[in-house]
Amino acid sequence: MRLQIILGLAGMLTLAACQENKSTKVKETVKTEELSKDDFHAKVNDLSRMIDKVLQVEKDNTVRAKKILGFIKKSHLDNKTAKKTVMKMMEKSKLSIEDQKEITFILNKSVPN
């Protein structure tokens, strides 16, 4: 009689344990580093100012490119946006085409799209 009671209780406990283990859906959250519109514009403006200053102060293109690379790495912008900003600032500063080509060559070698 004891054996039947023990087996019955064991059966009830296993059924109860199985019923409680319902699968719960876990919501995965993926953190993306997307900037808000205002933050994005602020970062682009900061990068533009720093690039403009480097283009005005420095005379050697390799030094210019190295400093611009440092600014790109510090900014939280993606490479495509940062390169676009560099191109626009070089056009505004009216660098010679040879200087622009040299700087873009160094940037493309160091920072792929």
Report how far residue 104's alpha carbon sits from residue 19's, in angstroms, rounded to the nearest whole number.
64
For 113, the token pair is 């799209």
Assess if residue 22 is contained within a domain: no
Taking alpha carbons only, the member of 50, 53, 108 closest to residue 79 is: 108
pLDDT of res. 25: 66
Assess if residue 9 is contained within a domain: no
Assess if residue 16 is contained within a domain: no
Report how far residue 8's alpha carbon sits from residue 3's, in angstroms, rounded to the nearest whole number.
8
Q: pTM, whole model, 2 decimals? A: 0.64
Domain enclosing residue 54, as ranges: 34-113
Per-residue pLDDT of the chain (113 residues; tens, 9 = 90+): 787 888 787 777 777 666 555 566 666 665 556 668 888 889 889 999 999 999 889 888 889 889 999 988 888 888 888 889 988 988 888 888 898 899 889 888 887 76
Count of domains for the chain? 1
Angle at 13 between CA 10 and CA 19, to 5 degrees: 140
Assess if residue 103 is contained within a domain: yes
Assess if residue 63 is contained within a domain: yes
pLDDT of res. 13: 74
Q: What is the dihedral of CA 35, 38, 39, 40, to 10 degrees?
A: 70
